[in-house]
Amino acid sequence: MITDPAILERLEKSEARNTKAIFPSVTNHHDTLFGGKALAWMDETAFIAATRFSRKRLVTVSSDRIDFKHPIPSGSLVELIGKVVKVGRTSIKVEVNIYVESMYNDHREKAITGTFNFVAVDTDGKPTPVLPID
């Protein structure tokens, strides 16, 4: 459990939110959001959260389990929310949730969830500490 007030403040400030409208250009033959597009948006949102936390150069090294719980139909709105959930010496793990809602009513539900792992790198591409070393 993280108890350092400075780290807790960084965590709070690093949350990333992106909102998108689902138009036909990003849907598949079922008229639902193409999974690859969802993954790209999730990786981008995770990258923003991790960068806000560390203010370092980062690279995506992996994604953990991605759960597609509900299809996201064309004509919907989605909100992606990324939060840093774990910080290692050179790595950061970010959880991203996508919530779907109709454009014409207030119903909202979690549709996709997943985690993305990043490593901080120096200008030579070598791993470097995420946080300053005291």
Q: Is the pLDDT of residue 37 over 70?
A: yes
Read off the pLDDT of residues 115-132 as tens digits, 9 standing for 90 and up.
999 999 999 999 999 987
Read off the pLDDT of residues 47-94 as tens digits, 9 standing for 90 and up.
999 999 999 999 999 999 999 999 999 999 999 999 999 999 999 999
Both structure tokens of 43 = 């990786």
Q: Is the pLDDT of residue 2 over 70?
A: no
Q: How far apart are CA 15 and CA 45, in angstroms?
A: 9
Total domains in the chain come to: 1
Mean pLDDT in the chain? Answer: 94
- What CATH number did the domain enclosing 72 receive? 3.10.129.10
**H-helix or E-strand containing 50?**
helix 35-54
Residue with tokens 């004509």: 75
- Quick check: is 12 in a domain? yes
Strand residue runs (E) in 31-107: 58-68, 76-87, 91-102
- Quick check: is 130 in a domain? no
